[in-house]
Amino acid sequence: MIKKSNDNYQSNNNVSNISNQSEYSDLPQKQSRFCSIINKLIPFAMLWGSLMLMYGVICMYTNSMGQDEFYRFIFFLRSPFVVVLNCLALLVAIFHSISWFNLAPKVIFSTNSNKRAQDYLFTAGLWLVTIAISICLVLFVLK
């Protein structure tokens, strides 16, 4: 059997494995221990926030039958342990949005990586849209 070399495909040595590349590859290799811990806490904080919202919606749904469930939810939210967990989840969510908004221009404009002003404008635009939507939601809830 004659072994043919196939020049149509690159060898496995030259192809970079995309699945092994981290989404934070542009960040310094030695992140601080704090940032590493916060990055690992992001899924737990999002899960906690989702469970809190789901519990609140269930209590609001059963509120039509009686107000006991709604008050039980309010007293649950007043617990010091829950307040601390909610504050930590909020801080982790803010850290996640900061790192996500700083990473987005590097992914979107990967071919034009020399234009740092374009990155800053895109990040500022993302923050302006986020702040505008948050203000609209707060005004809607306060009405």
Q: Which residues of 66-90 are buried (b: 16+ CB within 10 A; e: fewer)?
A: eeebeeebeeeeeeeeeeebbeebe
Q: Among residues 39, 57, 45, which one has the least CA distance to residue 85? A: 45
Going by pLDDT thresholds of 50, 70 and 90, the confidence category of residue 19 is very low
Q: Where are the alpha helices (DSSP H) in 1-115?
A: 33-62, 68-77, 80-108
Could you give the CA distance from residue 6 to residue 11 in angstroms, rounded to a whole number?
Answer: 9
Q: What average pLDDT does the chain have?
A: 78
pLDDT of residue 17: 46
What are 50-96's pLDDT values in tens digits?
999 898 888 887 766 667 777 888 888 999 999 999 999 988 888 88
For 33-142, the fitting CATH number among 3.30.450.20, 1.20.1300.10, 3.40.30.10, 3.40.50.10420 is 1.20.1300.10
Q: What one-character DSSP code corresponds to residue 67?
A: S
Nearest partner of 100 among 18, 31, 36, 39, judged by Cα: 39
pTM of the model: 0.63
pLDDT tens-digit profile of 115-126? 777 788 888 899
- State the pLDDT at residue 51: 92
- Bigger pLDDT: 121 vs 28: 121
pLDDT at 113: 56
Listed residue (102, 103, 92) closest to 44, CA to CA:
92
pLDDT at 139: 93
Domain boundaries, the chain: 33-142
Assess whether pLDDT exceeds 60 at residue 42.
Answer: yes
